[in-house]
Amino acid sequence: MARKKIALIGGGQIGGVLAQLCALRELGDVVMFDIVEGMPQGKMLDIAEASPVDGFDVCLQGTQDYKDIAGSDVVIVTAGLPRKPGMSRDDLIVTNSKIMTSVAEGIKQYAPNAFVIVISNPLDAMVTLCQKITGIPHNRVVGQAGVLDSARFATFIAWELGVSVKDVVAMTLGGHGDDMVPLVRYASVQGIPVMELLEQKYGAEKAKEVMEAMVKRTRLAGGEVVALLKTGSAFYSPASSAIAMAESVLKDQKRVLPTCCYLQGEFGVNGYYVGVPAVLGEKGVENILQFKLDAEEQAMMDKSVAAVKGLVDSLDSILNG
């Protein structure tokens, strides 16, 4: 059986961690494309030279030629500028939509059968653009946002309650902006509602405040890292998150992961990419799991979807104007 092949478009901070994780987990052979001469070749050589130490055996190649991504099963796109302190993800739209246009043309030509995971920001607009240009079916072009946003939420809950992150389940829906929707009602520790545990610890009123603070920190978590790093944005956690999605597809695991998916009526949204729980398997997005939102969650979802629509509309005017 042939080995799986993963193409990484963009070999910067996230791209480098993606390559190392693909290698360590032996997910398949890896090709890293970047426009910077020598850089992807250098990174892949560096990782390959760790293989005898770490004990992985995959082929790693750096390239400036899209031809080399031919036959990829999964393509992960991180090409584009990251944020600097004071910038919102949306401030990147003009530059990154030009970059995404050239990237998507490369994917269309050489890897039209791949499952594509977009990480470049502003995520909801970049994944929309990537699908439009590649023409790859919607269920095979998705964005990574929700796995990371959910992981951030779960991390804060675990720290607050003094429990292992392994036992926390938490999910965010909606767009990858400050209006994302952390689902407080469904956050649990081994099925026990987090709110109940917080109420035991603090009483009802303070429990609400503590949860609100965690929700706020989750929404602004990307910016918190940007402010500390000063020269770029988060890269370890976005890479890990995309790898979970890629692995589910490559190994047909059918994991339920919050994924930026194209919606056709689900959650009352039509024709936009929005974060929802999706079953990821060899066919790509194999199912979207729907459930009833309460009035407050629905209002947050509507606000988040409105922000996504605004972003996608501005994309149209950038491309047409």
Binding residues, by number, are 10-15, 34, 83, 89, 96, 119-121, 152
Determine, following the binding rule CB under 6 A, whether residue 10 of this chain makes contact with ligand APR.
yes
Give the annotated binding-site residues for NAD(+).
10-15, 34, 96, 119-121
d(CA 152, CA 241): 11
Shortest distance, position 163 Cβ to ligand APR, whole Å: 29
Choose between 223 and 281: whose C-beta lies nearer to ligand APR: 223
Choose between 58 and 127: whose C-beta lies nearer to ligand APR: 127
Could you say which of 7, 8, 14, 278 contacts ligand APR (CB under 6 A)? Answer: 14
Query: Among 74-82, 149-157, 164-172, 194-202, which window interacts with ligand APR (CB under 6 A)?
Result: 74-82
Choose between 92 and 261: whose C-beta lies nearer to ligand APR: 92
Q: Which two tokens stand for residue 259?
A: 């994924």
Q: Which two tokens stand for residue 51?
A: 């293989």
Print the binding letters for residues 193-232 with ligand APR: x by CB under 6 A, - otherwise. Answer: ---------------------------------------x
Give the 3-state DSSP-derived string for 41-57, with helices as H, strands as E and coil as C: HHHHHHHHCCHHHHCCC
Choose between 93 and 168: whose C-beta lies nearer to ligand APR: 93
Q: Which two tokens stand for residue 202?
A: 């603090």
Site for ligand APR in 17-36 (CB under 6 A): 34-36
d(CA 250, CA 245): 9
Does residue 176 carry a catalytic annotation?
A: yes
Q: Among 5, 43, 140, 176, which one carries the catalytic annotation?
A: 176
d(CA 71, CA 77): 16
Print the binding letters for residues 233-252 with ligand APR: x by CB under 6 A, - otherwise. Answer: x-x--x--------------
Query: Among 6-14, 175-183, 241-249, 275-283, which window interacts with ligand APR (CB under 6 A)?
Result: 6-14
Inter-residue long-range contacts of 11-15, CB under 8 Å, 24+ positions, other chains counted: 11/36, 11/39, 11/40, 11/43, 11/62, 12/78, 12/82, 12/235, 13/82, 13/232, 13/235, 14/78, 14/119, 14/235, 14/238, 14/239, 14/242, 15/40, 15/43, 15/78
DSSP per residue, 25-88: TT-SEEEEE-SSTTHHHHHHHHHHTTHHHHT----EEEES-GGGGTT-SEEEE--SPPP-TT--
Site for ligand APR in 76-135 (CB under 6 A): 78-83, 92, 96, 99, 102-103, 119-121
Residue in the shown chain whose Cβ atom is closest to ligand APR: 12
d(CA 169, CA 150): 8
Residue ranges in contact with ligand APR by CB under 6 A:
9-15, 34-36, 78-83, 92, 96, 99, 102-103, 119-121, 232-233, 235, 238
Which residues are part of the catalytic machinery?
Answer: 176
